[in-house]
Amino acid sequence: MTDRQVVVVGGGVMGAATAWLLARRGADVLLLERFGPAHDRGSSHGAMRNFNTSYAAEPYVAMLVEARRLYGELGAGLIEPVGLVRHGGSPVYPDVVAALASVGQAAEVLPAAEAQARWPQIRVDREALWIPEAGRVRAEDAWRAMLAGVEAEGGEVRFGTAVTGVRVLGDDEVEVATAEGCTTARRAVVTVGGWTAKLLGDAVPLPELRVTQEQPAHFRPLDPGLEWPTFMHDLDRSRHDGWLSGIYGMRTAGEGIKAGWHGTGPVVDPDHRDRAPVPAQLAALQAYARAWLPGVDADAADPISCTYTTTPTEDFVLDRVGPVVVGAGFSGHGFKFAPAVGRILADLATDDAAVPPAAFRLPAARRRLVV
């Protein structure tokens, strides 16, 4: 007989969402987190994240609808609908408009001059996509609400508990080892971000998971009272020497206007990283702010450090192999989807017939345990 029905390893937003939804279903769930609450060693910390809904592909569009609903069930006001301006003239904009219309959400493509007039704090030189129902997620508040939900529904959360191993004992039994001892469960859900390959080793053959140290920054707004939409810039790098990737950003109250490159940081070991900004990357980001964010002081930059764990396709890994469920590879765009990710992982942990969306499954050749 196992000690628990499900042990969730990793208490960032994906693990917290999974444990919350498992506990809400009545599952006997234990959530283990290596570090303390709201630590800054991974990918989930920080007050705000973009709620960027500019997707055209399934299953992401359906997951956005589900995530919005579940955030609403989690607590009032966790999504701040300040809208999203995505500019740069990408050919995907009409596809996004059509995809969002199919789920009852508005979006429109604006001429550059109209977008520039509406948002003078952002330089726009090509057509822009405007999504009024997009915006920001109050990230830390949402994560704390998930943890409170776990405990309110009878689950258990333990911080400062490092998992040292996950060992498969049978089709419906797995052992989770910590310094304090071992716990057996019918399922283990592993959501440990950049530590996924380290913890699972060869037990669950994974795709390549590239861990990078990302270095966005908060910039001081020139008009502190001005509201900002969230924003994305589809930079045409052939027209702009020195830009590293597209840009994303948003306002965070009390911290400034966050802006960052997407997935361009150095590859790191999550246990051995210095969190120091790469000078060339920070200088390029400040140069971007001077050129494209006239509403900020580009010289007043406060660098931030976090990690991305990226798959080769930037699609997530959500799958089960034997009694081990894996959620990994959120590739810098996963936070907004957390409640929907948690629902998928909870399904995989409790329903043997559950099948994740095809885009998130491990390849057939990898869907076997190495014992």
In tens, the pLDDT along 67-84 reads: 999 999 999 999 999 999
126 and 59 belong to one structural domain: yes
Q: Which residues contact 194 (CB under 8 A, 6 or more apart)?
A: 42, 43, 209, 211, 268, 270, 307, 309
Cα separation, 223 vs 213, in Å, equals: 31
pLDDT at 236: 80
User: Which residue segment(s) compose the domain that 253 sits in?
Assistant: 51-138+211-310
CB 63 within 8 A of CB 340: yes
> Average pLDDT, stretch 48-75?
98
Cα separation, 306 vs 195, in Å, equals: 14
- Residue 364 — very low, low, confident or very high, per pLDDT cuts 50/70/90? low
pLDDT at 370: 39
pLDDT at 371: 32
148 and 289 belong to one structural domain: no
Lowest mean pLDDT among 35-49, 182-196, 292-306: 35-49
Residue 134 half-sphere exposure toward CB, CA atoms < 13 A? 31
Residue 288 half-sphere exposure toward CB, CA atoms < 13 A? 29
**What are the tokens at 257?**
């206007």
- Number of domain units in the chain: 2
164 and 247 belong to one structural domain: no
pTM: 0.96
Tell me how crowded residue 282 is: count the other CB atoms within 10 A of its CB.
16
133 and 147 belong to one structural domain: no
133 and 257 belong to one structural domain: yes
Tell me what the pLDDT averaged over the chain comes to: 95
128 and 237 belong to one structural domain: yes
Q: Which of 284, 310, 336 is the last residue of a domain?
A: 310
Q: Which helix (H) or strand (E) holds 32?
A: strand 29-32
User: Does 371 map to a domain?
Assistant: no
> Average pLDDT, stretch 1-6?
93
119 and 217 belong to one structural domain: yes
Tell me how crowded residue 269 is: count the other CB atoms within 10 A of its CB.
11
- Residue 369 — very low, low, confident or very high, per pLDDT cuts 50/70/90? very low
293 and 362 belong to one structural domain: no
Does the pLDDT at position 309 exceed 80?
Answer: yes
pLDDT at 363: 79
**What are the tokens at 3?**
């000690």
**What are the tokens at 162?**
């490092």
- The pLDDT tens digits for 107-151 are 999 999 999 999 999 999 999 999 999 999 999 999 999 999 999
User: Does 189 map to a domain?
Assistant: yes
134 and 146 belong to one structural domain: no
Give the angle subtended at the CA of 326 by the CAs of 274 and 365, to the nearest 5°: 110
Q: Which of 310, 327, 357 is the last residue of a domain?
A: 310
Cα separation, 158 vs 304, in Å, equals: 27
> Average pLDDT, stretch 177-201?
97
Does the pLDDT at position 366 exceed 60?
Answer: no
- The pLDDT tens digits for 316-351 are 999 999 999 999 999 999 999 999 999 999 999 999
- Residue 162 — very low, low, confident or very high, per pLDDT cuts 50/70/90? very high
244 and 194 belong to one structural domain: no
DSSP conformation class of 88:
S
156 and 218 belong to one structural domain: no
pLDDT at 243: 87
Does the pLDDT at position 91 exceed 50?
Answer: yes
CB 17 within 8 A of CB 137: no
- Residue 251 — very low, low, confident or very high, per pLDDT cuts 50/70/90? very high
User: Does 128 map to a domain?
Assistant: yes
Instruction: Give the CATH number of the domain where residue 281 resides.
Output: 3.30.9.10
Cα separation, 66 vs 61, in Å, equals: 9
219 and 290 belong to one structural domain: yes
Q: Which of 293, 310, 327 is the last residue of a domain?
A: 310
Instruction: Give the CATH number of the domain where residue 13 resides.
Output: 3.50.50.60
